[in-house]
Structure 1
């Protein structure tokens, strides 16, 4: 069975990411990947383009990691106080979610924190102090405390 090398122009599930050089069967390359614009055959010019894409990806990843570490140092050990309406026994009317925590962090830091990065196994439904993990980047995570207090009604 013949094979060919192609450079991916898009991320292709189970094959690779944009800019990767992969070896595929000739039929898969010519009949599926190339006509759909997902890949191009390997040539010298295309190899240079692929190396530029890889360099760009590496620089972007480095910048994201630096930003995540910087934000982690600001967040480390921080306590965020969130007022919430509560009934008797400290039970909340509703719940405190990762969206509420992200909004409070944005107000405090003046910088957006993605709510999807806040690891809250389940919404907070009581008054008190709760530890919350924030995974800013693979390998960079920080723990903050969320202090849920009764709101003045």
Structure 2
């Protein structure tokens, strides 16, 4: 069954995408939850018109995200954490601390858009994090965890 997504669905597609899914998944989950509608001819025409109108806005948002990505490329963060004598961190460093460190440098980035490459950062050292600024624009930054 072909459907039109009304919002981003993880591992399926983005808003306004026309995707093919199994009938039961569409009828029992996506459509009742308001995540999708059936892809009829009239619905496809409406979505095509909506996409035309949003293309200009989308290009502007993507350009702003690319500009911010260029500024973020050279940024290196230092995050202080309380550690034991062996270098192990009490607790762990997560995306909240990275978002706060970026805010101190003047970059307002939502913590939900920050993904740390490793599962957990529990030792002093240098790590990488990926920041999703736009669905097509991602930037990788380095951060160093030091003992306070």
What TM-score, normalized by structure 2, do the two folds share?
Answer: 0.64
Alignment of 1:125-140 (within 5 A): 125-140=122-137
Structure 1 unaligned residues grouped into runs of 5+: 1-7, 21-32
Alignment of 1:81-120 (within 5 A): 81-120=78-117
Number of corresponding residues: 133
* Deviation digits for residues 50-108 of structure 1 (CA, Å, limit 9, x no counterpart): 55421233223212311221111111031111111000111100000012112211221
Q: How does 1:1-153 map to 2 (within 5 A)?
A: 10=6, 17-18=15-16, 38=37, 50-151=47-148
Please say which of residues 104-113 and 48-57 is displaced more in the overlay. 48-57
2: CA distance, partners of 1:40 / 1:68: 31
Structure 2 unaligned runs (5+)?
19-30
Distance 2:92 2:8 in 1: 39
2:81–2:146 contact (8 Å) kept in structure 1: yes
Shift of the 71–47 alpha-carbon distance from structure 1 to 2, 3 Å rule, reads same
Q: In 2 relative to 1, CA 129–58 (structure 1 residues): closer, same or farther, beyond 3 Å?
A: same
Q: Does the CA contact (< 8 Å) of 1:92 and 1:125 recur in 2? A: yes
Highest Rg: 1 or 2?
1
Given that residues 6 and 16 in structure 2 are in contact (C-alpha distance below 8 angstroms), is that contact kept between their aligned partners in structure 1?
yes
Q: Distance in 2 between matches of 1:139 and 1:41?
A: 28
